[in-house]
Chain A
Amino acid sequence: MKRARIAWQGRAVWADLVDDDQWLRLANGERVDATHAHWLPPVTPGATIFALGLNYADHSAELGFAPPSSPLVFLKGHATFVGHGGTARCPVDARQMHPECELVAVIGAPARKVRSEHAMDYVAGYTVACDYAIREYLENYYRPNLRVKNRDGCTPIGPWIVDAAEVGDPQALALSTHVNGALVQAGRSHDMVFGVSALIEYLSDFMTLMPGDMILTGTPHGVAFVKPGDRVICEIEGIGALAHDVEVDR
């Protein structure tokens, strides 16, 4: 099953995708044509959002870093999220706005001191994010700092959450980013330094992960920069294609 969060008749509601993703079925049974849906970020209010830096060896190498010996985790707020079909904001002076296609694991049950071999029991599903970095704002304090990674409208996410059972092995998925139709990023989740299970073990060792919490698992090789007017599509095999436009943020 896929579930999406949409704006419908003045409300934010969750809905299931049915009939080959052509329709959205609301909790009360009503159906909405998916081609006319207003997609919202499929994010639970208040959820803790974890993200990973340097979690693909090939991406670390192209940035000139050795892969980290423990996960490089940072947190994100919610004002940065943009739903499928929305608009990401490019600062007027930004020349290094880097799209980062990422597999997102969604937690489904409270997780505390979970060993990696049991971690999959705590994953509800997966979605796709484009975790933009504005690289010229990088500073060496709590890097990657919030000015780089938590800007308004700089994290498209969606279109929906796919149940974990339908996705299968999260480390066997192809990821890609296209900008205006050109492939700029391609990788496989197999190349993560710390996979989904290892990340759940690492985080749940010192804190409790809660249902709805999300882990953005890092991005593979391929540094390209976008500019206002670009159309960007991040796609992950078996999950979906997340589209957005880039617009200048004045």
Chain B
Amino acid sequence: MISGIAYGVVLNDERQLRELGSRLNDAPYLGAPQAPVMFIKPRTCFRFHGAAIPMPDELERVEAAATLGLLFERDVTKAQPANALSGVAAACLAIEVCEPHDAFHRPAIRQRCRDGFLPLGAFTAFEPAFATADIHTVIDGRRRHTWSLSDLARPVPDLVAAITEFMTLRAGDLLMVGLPGDAPTVEAGERIEVTAQGLPALATVVQRGSIQ
């Protein structure tokens, strides 16, 4: 299981980067990102076995970004793309939940770190095909979003190489490989199901009120 840290990556969706285009040259960014743009999810975000996502009282909607989580079984440091995934043992679907926001200048701690904001599906043995999977999001029975990990600006092996150039992904760490720039939003009471071929489906519900 996750005994280490859950890391995520934003601005790794090629289409989103294309749409942002020259805006990334303006203040406050002053140029496209060079290193992977990463965030950390506290352990208090983890939700397992379909447990509900708690919707804070002060929010009406949250963003639900479906992605792939990789669980490392070996420490990976300064990997090359060709061997970058040799330390990955398992994978799961994940829903990166956040309060909607459109700025990337400062870490989105308040927006991303609320309790229960990272539902995780069951783990299965990692297969290389997962790194280019299509991921579907169904909300209350309607297909609301599909994206393909083959559209990542940094494909998964390149991403792991770029991250481990400066930090080790340790045995027990989880890495979410990117987020779709056009993730749907959901409100309290809505059911979310995330699927991708070969991976255990992840189904959960958004529930009003904090869950202790």
Q: How far is the CB of B121 from the nearest CB of chain A, in Å?
A: 20
Residue of A45, A75, A143 most packed against chain B (CB within 10 A)? A75
Q: Which residues of A contact B129 (CB under 8 A)?
A: none
Residues of chain B from 87 to 112 with CB closer than 8 A to chain A in the complex: 104-110
A75 & B107 in contact (Cβ 8 Å cutoff) = yes
B4 pairs with A137, CB closer than 8 A: no
Q: How far apart sit A146 and B162, CA to CA, in the bound complex (Å)?
A: 12
CB distance from A52 to the nearest CB of B (A): 11
Residue of A nearest to B170 (CB): A79
**Contact between A140 and B105 (Cβ–Cβ < 8 Å)?**
yes
A-B CB pair tally, cutoff 8 Å: 102
Nearest residue (CB) in A for B113 is A207
Contact flag A46-B4 (CB < 8 Å), given A72-B106, A75-B40: yes
Chief secondary structure at chain B's binding surface: loop
Question: Do A46 and B43 contact each other (CB < 8 Å), given the known contacts A77-B5, A206-B110?
Answer: yes
| CB-based contact A141/B37 at 8 Å | yes
Bound together, the chains give a CA A227 to CA B100 distance in angstroms of 42
Q: B28 to A140, Cβ gap below 8 A?
A: yes
**A145-181, CB under 8 A of B: which get 1 and which 0?**
1110011100000000000000000000000000000
Chain B residues near A74: list those with CB within 8 A: 107, 109
Task: Pick the most buried of A77, A143, A152: most chain B CB atoms within 10 A of its CB.
Answer: A77
Considering the chains assembled together, what is the distance between the CA atoms of A122 and B56 in angstroms?
Answer: 23
A141 interface neighbour in B33, B113, B115, B170, Cβ under 8 Å: B33
B106 touching A142, Cβ below 8 Å: yes
Taking a contact as CB atoms under 8 Å apart, the answer to whether B35 and A139 are in contact is yes
Asked if A76 CB lies within 8 Å of chain B CBs, one says: yes
Please, how many angstroms separate the alpha-carbon atoms of A117 and B5 in the complex? 31
| Cβ–Cβ contact B170 & A75, under 8 A | no
CB atoms of A140 and B30 under 8 A apart: yes
- Interface residues contributed by chain B, number (CB under 8 Å): 39
Residues on B with C-beta less than 8 A from A142 are 10, 37-39, 104-108
- Say whether, besides A142-B39, A143-B105, A146-B167, A210 and B44 are in contact (CB < 8 Å): yes
Cβ contact within 8 Å between B115 and A78: no
Which residues of chain A in 43-102 are interfacial with respect to chain B, using CB atoms and an 8 Å cutoff? Answer: 45-46, 48, 50, 72-80, 91
Q: How many angstroms between the C-alpha atoms of A139 and B43 in the bound complex? A: 26
Task: Give the distance in Å from the alpha carbon of A103 to the alpha carbon of B3 in the complex.
Answer: 26
Judge whether B168 and A140 touch: CB under 8 Å. Answer: no
Q: What 1/0 mask marks residues of chain A from 121 to 150 whose CB sits below 8 Å from any chain B CB?
A: 000000000000000010111110111001
A172 CB to closest chain B CB (Å) equals 27
A22 interfacial by beta-carbon distance below 8 Å: no
How many chain A residues touch the partner (CB < 8 A)? 32
Contact A151 B37 (CB under 8 A): no
Whether B11 lies near A80 (C-beta < 8 A) is no
Tell whether, in the assembled complex, residue A79 and residue B167 are in contact, meaning their CB atoms are under 8 Å apart: yes
B166 partner, pick from A75, A112, A147, beta carbons under 8 A: A147
Q: B1-55: which have CB < 8 Å to A?
A: 3-5, 7, 10-11, 28-31, 33-35, 37-40, 42-44
In contact, A141 and B168 (Cβ under 8 angstroms)? no
Residue of A79, A112, A137 with most partner-chain B CB within 10 A:
A79
How far, in whole Å, are A156 and B19 apart by their CA atoms in the complex? Answer: 41
Task: Tell me whether B35 and A145 are in contact (CB under 8 A).
Answer: yes
Q: Do B5 and A78 touch across chains, with their CB atoms under 8 A apart?
A: yes
User: Could you tell me the distance between the alpha carbons of A72 and B105 in the complex, rounded to whole angstroms?
Assistant: 11
Chain B residue at minimal CB-CB distance from A78: B5
B4 near A77 with CB under 8 A, answer yes
Query: Could you list 16 examples of A-B contacts with CB < 8 Å?
Result: A46-B43, A48-B43, A72-B106, A75-B109, A75-B113, A77-B40, A77-B170, A139-B34, A140-B31, A141-B29, A141-B33, A146-B38, A147-B166, A151-B166, A207-B42, A210-B44
Chain B residues with CB under 8 Å of chain A are: 3-5, 7, 10-11, 28-31, 33-35, 37-40, 42-44, 56, 77, 104-110, 113-115, 166-168, 170, 173, 210, 212
Residue positions of A touching B, CB distance < 8 A: 45-46, 48, 50, 72-80, 91, 112, 137, 139-143, 145-147, 150-152, 206-208, 210, 213
11 A-B pairs besides A139-B34, A150-B38 with CB distance below 8 A are: A73-B107, A76-B40, A78-B5, A79-B170, A80-B167, A140-B28, A141-B105, A145-B38, A146-B166, A206-B56, A210-B44
